[in-house]
Homo-oligomer: A and B are copies of this chain.
Amino acid sequence: MTDLRVIAGLLHNANKLVVAGHEMPDGDCVGSVRALGLALSRMGKDVTIALPDPVPEIFSFLPGVDEFVIGQEAFKGQYDFMVVLDCSVPERLGPLRALLGRPMTVVNIDHHVGSREFAHYNYISPSHAATAEIIQDLIGCLEIEVTSEIATCLYTGIVTDTGSFQYENTTPETHRRAASLMEQGASSVWINLMINEQKPLINLLVLENALKSLELSSCGRVAWVSVERDMLDCLNAKDENTDGLIGYIRSIRGVEVAIFFREISSHLYKVGFRSKEIVDVNRLASLFGGGGHVRAAGCVVNGDLESLQTKIVSEALKLIEETKRDLQAQYERHSQCTETARDDLS
């Protein structure tokens, strides 16, 4: 892994840069790319900020997001330097991946576990809650002032990737970073309002309809809902209007695994998984050719809804039992060790 100070040195010597993020960009991606772009502009560099997909409407409040070039538009520029942010594998660059073949220096900065080192210089740090945290450090190394615009972008990255400081990745340092960014001009109230309080009305109508399909396993540990194409079409809703729906299902008391079936087309379903405390839903998703993280994963499956639900819910229940057995065994081993240690001491 390349030291951030080395990367800062490389950036000082670069002239025409492109800073790029990943497909379907989230708040950390948009915020990090924009923040580094702003900092490099302040250094007098010629900077292009690029994304494979457009900025989601929810982040349109960020300063100067209209300056992003989208998809193949980025091919028009000539660059001597590329910085890829928040992108665990080069495939996530989408069409922008073609830029990697150009003769220029490429730096890759990311915080995802298992991120690949696909660039000339790589800085991958899963101990950072967000790529925005790393960009905050990098801007420190560059000795560039954090303006209120930069602070707004970085705070947005941190607050979205930590679920408002609620997820496991939030460290004491994350809070101290947020404190500094507020002092540097990030209005946390306004940012939170823009992110959490601007939901399309249609999301609530989709939620209302989806809740009609809510089912719980008899033990109450697995809950699932489904959204069919007809319903979305009838409400004139898009797939993105189901965003956040699975979170409501997971928040039910006693539920460990929440599952969301979304019909893509006839007999084809996107299945989302979330777990609360113990289950690795990445394992669950991989049983059906999907993947993801320990607490959030997904897959795409083919079949009729009822059979799919029966099959997937039954695997979820099995996994809960297995996980409980593993935890019990771990606990017993730990107790035995403690007892043996006590015997040795006595």
Residues of A within 8 A of B (CB): 164-168, 170-173, 175-176, 178-180, 182-183, 188-189, 192-193, 196-201, 204-205, 207-208, 211-212, 214, 216, 248, 250-254, 276-277
Contacts and interface: CB of A to CB of B under 8 A. Distances in A.
Contact of A252 (B171, B180, B193, B204): B204
Contact of A165 (B188, B207, B251): B188
A93 to B, nearest CB: 31
A183 to B, nearest CB: 5
A216 B189 contact: no
A116 to B, nearest CB: 27
B179 A166 contact: no
A262 to B, nearest CB: 18
Contacts of A164: 164-166
A178 B165 contact: yes
Contacts of A178: 165, 172, 175
B189 A167 contact: yes
Contacts of A250: 197
- Tell which of A165, A193, A205 has the most Cβ of chain B within 10 Å: A165
Instruction: State the copy count for this chain.
Output: 2
A282 to B, nearest CB: 18
A294 to B, nearest CB: 12
Nearest to A168: B189
A25 B107 CA distance: 52
Contacts of A216: 201
A248 B251 CA distance: 15
A208 B197 contact: no
B167 A165 contact: no
Contacts of A208: 207-208, 211-212
A312 to B, nearest CB: 20
21 contacts: A165-B165, A165-B178, A171-B182, A172-B180, A173-B179, A175-B178, A175-B182, A193-B276, A197-B250, A198-B251, A198-B253, A198-B254, A199-B251, A200-B253, A201-B253, A201-B254, A204-B248, A204-B252, A205-B211, A207-B207, A208-B211
A163 B55 CA distance: 27
Contact of A277 (B172, B193, B252, B277): B193
Contacts of A182: 171-172, 175
Contacts of A180: 172
Nearest to A195: B166
Contacts of A175: 175-176, 178-179, 182
A143 to B, nearest CB: 22
- Would you list the 10 A-B pairs with minimal beta carbon distance, nearest first? A172-B179, A175-B179, A208-B211, A175-B175, A166-B192, A164-B164, A198-B253, A172-B182, A175-B178, A197-B251
